[in-house]
Amino acid sequence: MKSEKNFSDSSKKKCPKSVPVFFPPNFCLFPPSSVNCLNPGSFAAIHKKTRDISPEWFEGLRLRCAKNLDVNKGFYFDWMVGNNTPAGCRFGGMLCRKDYNITKTPLIIVDTNPSTLATNLHFLHHPLPEIRLESKIQTGVVPSRSQKFIGSLEYLGESSTISLAFYNPKCDAGRMTIGFLHSLNNKFCAGFELLTSWRGRKERREFEASLALAARQSFDKSSAAISVSKNALNISGWHQANDSLQLGASMIFNWQTSKALGSLYYQLETKNAIIKGMFDSDWSIGCTYNR
């Protein structure tokens, strides 16, 4: 009994002193030391979520037959009849490299009208993962009068995008935009766009500039965006109700005419079809069915 007492006394003397250590309780959230913001996209795509579910309208009748030759190429045939749209047939195709990442592949989309030789050309390429080049060219019967060109250059950073775009640049007239969009966190982004236009000859050339501001707040299954300039105010919202139904709304107010237009959109995806529809405040209702 005496030896056991001595052993217990010696063990108590050798025990280390208590050190204050904090262990968090279960399900306790701690903010990370550094947050990597996602790229917000370009300024022109600030309302992209709402525009993607809006139906695409066209006047008249259109019949399209498409055939995919491979995962990277295909062609289609269109036959259109209408009062406002040019009637006739169009042939088109798409070509890109066999790669799963589009940032490493050039994409070419072209379609032409055999009777008038009117051609649309769309080119998209990422020479580097951070650089994005895009151009759209449209030519008509008289190339010098009806040719249209849109070219853009974008730098995609970790949390911001800088874009430069030209619209029909010529010596006597043209437009240029410079945009910047930055993500403050993974949910909120804001930026600006500067529009510059010129017209007239060298002796009497006139320049105009206007500034637009925009912001977007994103959630898990919804988002809201707003853009304002000296000409108009645009507010849009998007929400994913479930896996097959998406809802959207937009309101555009024109400062010069003091008129507003509100719209409601929906997109319903079934197993073999996609249904898109919209309701406008001017009592216009429409729906498209794609199969």
DSSP state letters, 163-226: EEEEES--SSEEEEEEEEEEESSSSEEEEEEEEEEEES-STT-EEEEEEEEEEEEE-SSEEEEE
CA gap 27, 45 in Å, rounded: 38
The 10s digit of each residue's pLDDT in 246-285 is 999 999 999 989 999 999 999 999 988 899 999 999 888 8
pTM: 0.77
Instruction: In whole angstroms, give the CA distance from residue 40 to residue 22.
Output: 38
What ranges make up the beta strands (E) of the chain? Answer: 61-70, 73-81, 88-96, 107-112, 119-128, 131-139, 148-156, 160-167, 173-183, 188-199, 206-218, 222-228, 232-240, 245-254, 259-269, 274-280, 285-290
Per-residue DSSP letter, 38? P
Q: For domain 39-290, which CATH number applies: 3.40.190.10, 2.60.40.1930, 3.20.20.80, 2.40.160.10? A: 2.40.160.10
pLDDT at 227 over 90: yes
Phi/psi at 58 (5° precision): -150, 150
Residues 6+ apart with CB under 8 A from 143: none
Domain boundaries, the chain: 39-290
Residue 131 structure tokens:
């650089």
Of residues 73, 133, 137, 75, the one with CA closest to residue 103? 133
What pLDDT is attached to residue 284? 85
Does the pLDDT value for residue 3 go beyond 60? Answer: no
pLDDT at residue 114 in the model:
80
Give the pLDDT confidence of 39-55 residue by residue, as tens digits: 899 999 999 999 999 98
Res. 16 pLDDT band, cuts 50 70 90: low
Mean pLDDT, all residues of the chain:
83
Tens digit of each residue's pLDDT (9 = 90 or more) over 102-111: 666 788 999 8
CA distances for 147 relative to 84, 118, 143, 176, angstroms = 19, 10, 5, 17
Judge contact between 273 and 291, C-beta under 8 A.
yes
3-state secondary structure of 285: strand
What is the rounded CA–CA span in Å between residue 130 and residue 181? 15
